[in-house]
Amino acid sequence: MRDAQAADLATADLHGSLEDPALTSMNFLNEVTGRYPDALSFAPGRPVEQFFDVESVHRHLRTFSNHLSDELGYSEEEVRRTLCQYGRTKGIVHRLVARHVSRDEGIEVDPESVVVTVGCQEAIFLVLRALRADERDVLLSVSPVYVGLTGAARLVDMPVLPVSSGAAGIDLDDLAAQIRGARQRGERPRACYVMPDFANPSGASMDVATRRALLEVAEREDILLLEDNPYGLFHGGEGTLPTLKALDISRRVVYLGSFAKTVLPGARVGYAVADQRVTDAQGELGLFADQLSKIKSMVTVNTSPIAQAVVGGALLENDYSLDLANTREQETYRRNLRQVVDGLEARFGDCLGVAWNSPAGGFFVCVTVPFTVDDDLLELSARRHGVLWTPMCHFYSGSGGTNELRLSVSSLTGEQIEEGLDRLAALFAELGCIPAMKPMQAGGRAP
Amino acid sequence: MRDAQAADLATADLHGSLEDPALTSMNFLNEVTGRYPDALSFAPGRPVEQFFDVESVHRHLRTFSNHLSDELGYSEEEVRRTLCQYGRTKGIVHRLVARHVSRDEGIEVDPESVVVTVGCQEAIFLVLRALRADERDVLLSVSPVYVGLTGAARLVDMPVLPVSSGAAGIDLDDLAAQIRGARQRGERPRACYVMPDFANPSGASMDVATRRALLEVAEREDILLLEDNPYGLFHGGEGTLPTLKALDISRRVVYLGSFAKTVLPGARVGYAVADQRVTDAQGELGLFADQLSKIKSMVTVNTSPIAQAVVGGALLENDYSLDLANTREQETYRRNLRQVVDGLEARFGDCLGVAWNSPAGGFFVCVTVPFTVDDDLLELSARRHGVLWTPMCHFYSGSGGTNELRLSVSSLTGEQIEEGLDRLAALFAELGCIPAMKPMQAGGRAP
């Protein structure tokens, strides 16, 4: 042992992202979850597990192999090469992805505009890396926002300017004001990140008029829109609204897709649709997808063709429609969402200062409370009451969300939801949050 | 169509890496390969395909599933969750990887120090992102070097200072001089990237004395060593030398591992062994692996557990030894390497100015020639002679390699090698490069 000369390090000498709240909060949340394995958890936005099936992974893989040989006429050698060797950086299921977004999202796009990525997270990272050219480049984002967006921006040292979400899913006046402010400071706003359908964490959705108005603002201000859509297919039964990308006629939108909730997280396959035209230094015209692909070649080389084949097989087996393939999951999430909202009403309907939204779909409900919600409270909730959730402050880059918590409805059973809400009620009661009628009956009117 | 307002872009407004020679050269090489599909190719460092087998992918997956249930006692639900759900950021095959590096490389390491990544490329990226804290941080690297290293450094805006490779695999005096020079300029050299065994592209290997001396320099100068080892198991039959990590007693070495050549590229699974201790802002001590994991959570979230299971199954089926599992591949590469070196001797043994090295193993042979080797020559070689190879200049960050080309021996058959070398000889002849005796017989001695 020569520890005196050991090559040890301090985070102070490592990239600043490592002490950034976005990255450390993810770690904290995972760590709390790990420490209280028996707690009921409204925390993670994970898909329901009961329909997972390892045999279906094998079947998807065989379906895709058979597609290569039977429909595309690949020889056995070509099938082996496609699945086992290094492959096309932009992916091997791009044509299937293009058919899927056409079928389920009304997005018509050249398969060459599709970059298949290691989950949607890599797609986000690639786009931000490309757009952060120098220290002037900044990103706009609805606030509150998914931590993965904030973290990826931090990795490329790109500031994120928060735009109010409001009831409409985005406050367009605030968006315009933020862009103006940035330009006055000499910054270059490149894009605005949004999740128009059942957003994580707010649950908010944009109506069609807001979507169209957002596209107009983007065009007027000459910025891109980064549309992330992991939950769009989990609507409340009334179908989905058109995505921004489906409404986009001037290539303003980079569409970020995920198969984590619609096929399975274990494949780690997502994609970007990036049909913007890019002129290079030689004056040649290409696609933004090809620029993202160049970056991808230096991050992950290509997405595992085996993992892509699993997703490709699922697409083929369902005639490209993951909407139809997810009827059981849709029904589960819809029932859970209704049960959580009804359960909140039953328990807190009379509580002064306790409120929540009623999203039309997706995984998340936001609860506003008359006390401070932070990591200490989460710790106490886990230890004393055996229930986990997510403090909303983690989803605000600056201040905000200190009186809010996020409940994820996706991965609990009906019984667990009832028990979990009872435990939450016990926590709230401990913090003095009991039905409004009771204190009035006991102590009359406050001054 | 409203193209006047379309959201189109120029690479001038995107990150500088997109016009960097490292990234564009990879694209050019792929593009030439695509344009001449019938050319014999000494270009890509791809593993031999004849032993690939889609059924073995299914078998590996089942082996790993059975390991979880039979050996670790997982319930069916836990097996499904492990393979299909989101999972541990640092990976699920870390214990198997730790046993593998112990068995095959003599590296003894806590599995908690292992981060399973999306290929070795992601491991490189994570380490460089962590080490590039601010504009002072620079990387050292042997030169010539694998393009993926240069590209990943470019993505985090980290300058790479070339260190001469020389006959020993690294010139330690030059390394010390580069470090001194950097410090005099106010830069902070963080690490030196090396490939001690059968390096890509040079084919050079370091002897044990050089390895020990390199560790001493690293300790004296207080830098890390990033040891990349994709080819170590493909030795020429005399076994492998100890890796730097096996010799490392002061945690100087971050070991970068790949399963692309030893299991299959299609899994896209690699890893970093990062056992350095890191003190965070709260004064708590952790592992460098955990810092890399935090970054990974914002790049790819986690490596596909399905892809990991394929590699895990292969490790389990071979009692953790990929050395034993690759006897057919080792034999193929050894035979090919011998055939290429002998074939060069037979064709160019008398040619003035043509020379090549004779690596003890690995995939690559370097040929020095008395004419300029560039992309135009590669294009001509493909078009007129139907043979592809790689201009060495792509592996030098500045100047260098303009009279060298790299031949990869890994993915051609014996017949293809003979035919390919004949085509190469035809190209060389066209450039005036014919056996030395002939011009002397024809025209006497030059002045």
ipTM computed for the complex: 0.95
Per-residue pLDDT, A417: 98
- Percent pLDDT > 70 in chain B is 96
User: Do the beta carbons of residue A412 and residue A41 sit within 8 Å?
Assistant: yes
The strand pair at A137-143 and A40-41 is best described as unpaired
Look-up of token digits 């735009």? A163
Hey, what amino acid is at A16? G
Q: How far is A356 from chain B (nearest CA, A)?
A: 28
B285-287 vs B277-279, strand pairing mode: antiparallel
pLDDT of residue A442: 39
**pTM, full prediction:** 0.95
Report chain B's mean pLDDT, rounded to a whole number.
93
Least CB–CB distance from A266: residue in B151, B219, B304:
B304
Q: Residue A143's beta-bridge partner residues?
A: A164
pLDDT at A392 over 60: yes
Would you say residue B34 has pLDDT above 90? no
From chain B, the residues in CB contact with A13 under 8 A are: 133
- Which sign does the torsion angle of CA A91, A95, A100, A102 carry? positive
pLDDT digits over B213-261, tens only? 999 999 999 999 999 999 999 987 777 899 999 999 999 999 999 999 9
Q: Give the Cα separation of B158 and B238 in Å (integer).
A: 38
pLDDT digits (tens, 9 = 90+) for B298-328: 999 999 999 999 999 999 999 999 999 999 9
pLDDT score of B156: 97
CB B316 within 8 A of CB B63: yes
Contact B120, B145 (CB under 8 A): no
**Nearest to residue B61, comparing CAs of B263, B262, B256?**
B263
| pLDDT for the residue A436 | 60
Reported as a single tens digit per residue, the pLDDT across B56-79 is 999 999 999 999 999 999 999 999
The residue extents of the domains of chain B are 15-44+326-438, 55-322
For residue A201, whether the previous peptide bond is cis, meaning omega lies within 30 degrees of 0, is yes
Contact A266 B85 (CB under 8 A): yes
Grade residue B437 by pLDDT with cuts at 50, 70 and 90.
Answer: low
Angle at A389 between CA A259 and CA B296, to 5 degrees: 45
Q: Architecture of A15-44+326-440 per CATH?
A: Alpha-Beta Complex (3.90)
Question: Which residues in chain B touch residue A126, judged by CB atoms under 8 angstroms apart?
Answer: none
Tokens 């006046």 locate to: A173
- Residues A226-236 have pLDDT tens digits of 999 999 999 87
* Angstroms from B323 CA to nearest CA on chain A: 19
Name the CATH code of domain A55-324 (choices 3.40.50.300, 3.40.309.10, 3.40.640.10, 3.40.50.261): 3.40.640.10
pLDDT at residue A98 in the model = 98
| Separation CA A31–CA B317 (nearest Å) | 33
- Contacts of B53 by beta carbon, 8 Å cutoff, 6+ apart: A80, A84
CATH of domain B55-322: 3.40.640.10
DSSP B22-34: HHHHHHHHHHHHH
> What pLDDT, on the 0 to 100 scale, is given for residue B445?
40
Mean pLDDT computed over A205-231: 97
Neighbours of A59 (CB within 10 A): 15
Do the Cβ atoms of A251 and B6 come within 8 Å?
A: yes
Count of pairs with CB atoms under 8 A, one residue in A, one in B: 314
- Greater confidence (A238 vs A204) lies with A204
Q: Which residues of A touch B148 (CB under 8 A)?
A: 298, 301
- Residues of B with Cβ-Cβ distance to A47 under 8 angstroms: 85
d(Cα B359, Cα B199) in Å, to the nearest integer? Answer: 9
CATH 3.90.1150.10 given to domain B15-44+326-438: yes
**pLDDT band at residue B441 under the 50/70/90 scheme:** very low
- Contact across the interface for B122 and A276, Cβ inside 8 Å: no
| Cβ–Cβ below 8 Å for A85 and B52 | yes
- Please, are residues B287 and B275 in contact by the beta-carbon 8 Å criterion? yes
Judging contacts by C-beta atoms under 8 Å, the chain B residues touching residue A298 are 17, 22-23, 121, 125, 148, 151-152, 154-155
Instruction: Kindly state the tokens that stand for B28.
Output: 């050019």
CA B198 to chain CA mean position, Å? 10
Whether pLDDT at B155 is above 90: yes
Shortest distance, CA A347 to any CA of chain B (angstroms) = 32
Q: Are B118 and A118 within 8 A, CB to CB?
A: yes
